[in-house]
Amino acid sequence: MNYRRYAAFGNTFCALAITVILMVVVVVEALGSGLLVRADEVAEEKPERFVVESSRQWEKGTFAVSGSPASLAWMLKPGVKKVLLEDWKLLLVNKENLLPEGYKIETKRLSNGLLVDARIYDPLMEFLKAGNKAGCNLLVCSAYRPYERQVELYEADLAKYQSMGYSYEKACAITEETLAVPGASEHQAGLSVDIVTLRHQVLNDAFADTKAGKWLAEHAHEYGFILRYPKDKEEITGINYEPWHFRYVGKEAAEQIHELGCCLEEYLMLQKILVVQNRTDKTEK
């Protein structure tokens, strides 16, 4: 076989191999999106819960969304307006969904100097104003954190633990118990704020029992915000309960998330189900 023929054979082989790989990817994707909702089956046993099954990364195993089957049925109704997954308000940031290095947004400054994504400024002001009117004395203590700042914080903690004699791996693990790896902090997206009060500025569970903590949790959805890391969703979000951390998702999604009693990860998965469901509906007609 001369060189040219050999090269031609190589090209054909490569093309074939790529085709096969692509086909495998398509099949795996199709299987992966086989999200399952078993509402009625479970409803008999536990009428107040439905189970969503999936095999995707952050959707490990089976977990329950604490909404009623009726609210899921409402979500699945063809008439209910579906939220687009590409929507900036529904940006998912967690350990599996990192923001790209150097992620930049247009910011707007709060009166205390902190920055937020300019697009959430007005709804945030409305939210805070309503809370203060209810007598809460709210205080935003953390907002947008640029990528570089997260890197600084992460590296400082890492160096501290390494200087204490921990191996690199162990130092990383300890750092990540309290700090997100660069790209994984929702504060880097500028869509989240930590809200406390003048009297209660410590970020701890006890904040949930304060007047402000209760008001924020009860009313956030009316202004397009959600309590991003609920107590009973720690395994899914991968973040401990944070009664002070609020995330803007827009009024529509916030109302639905509130109604369903789910967290953002679960909500986005339900949206995916809706997309799959819609596709099935269309093909059936």
What is the set of active-site residues?
242
Find the part of the chain contacting Zn ion (CB under 5 A) among 37-45, 90-98, 143-151, 194-202: 194-202
d(CA 158, CA 51) in angstroms, rounded, equals 39
For residue 208, give Cα distances in angstroms to 44, 68, 166, 216: 33, 24, 35, 9
| Crossing angle between the packed helical segments 211-219 and 121-133, to the nearest 10 degrees | 130
Cα angle 221, 103, 173 (rounded to 5 degrees) comes to 85
Structure-block tokens of residue 80: 């209910």
50-53 and 36-38 strand pairing: antiparallel
| Residue 165 C-beta: closest distance to Zn ion, Å | 30
Residue number with CB closer to Zn ion (50 or 223): 223
* Binding-site string for Zn ion from residue 232 to residue 251, where x marks contact by CB under 5 A and - marks none: -------------x------
Specify the 3-state DSSP secondary structure of 246: strand
Residue with CB nearest Zn ion? 245
Q: Rule CB under 5 A: which of 73-92 touch Zn ion?
A: none
3-state DSSP call for residue 222? Answer: helix
Least spacing, CB of residue 75 vs Zn ion, in Å: 28
As measured in angstroms, the least distance from the Cβ of 23 to Zn ion is: 43
Quick one: 42 or 105, whose CB is closer to Zn ion?
105
Tokens 């509130």 belong to residue: 258
Between 194 and 252, whose beta carbon lies closer to Zn ion? 194
The contact pattern for Zn ion, residues 139-178, with x = CB under 5 A and - = no contact, is ----------------------------------------
Task: Select from 126, 194, 222, 259 the one that contacts Zn ion (CB under 5 A).
Answer: 194
Residue span binding Zn ion (CB under 5 A) among the ranges 66-74, 116-124, 156-164, 189-197:
189-197
Binding-site size for Zn ion (CB under 5 A) equals 2
Q: Which strands, in side-by-side order, build the sheet including 36-38?
A: 36-38, 50-53, 62-65
Contact 224, 100 (CB under 8 A): no
Site for Zn ion in 45-74 (CB under 5 A): none
Q: How far is the CB of 157 from Zn ion (least distance, A)?
A: 16
CB of 74 closer than 8 Å to CB of 92: no
Distance of closest approach, residue 192 Cβ to Zn ion, in angstroms: 6
- Closest to 147 measured CA to CA, from 189, 114, 91: 189
Contact between 200 and Zn ion by CB under 5 A: the answer reads no
Binding site for Zn ion (CB under 5 A): 194, 245
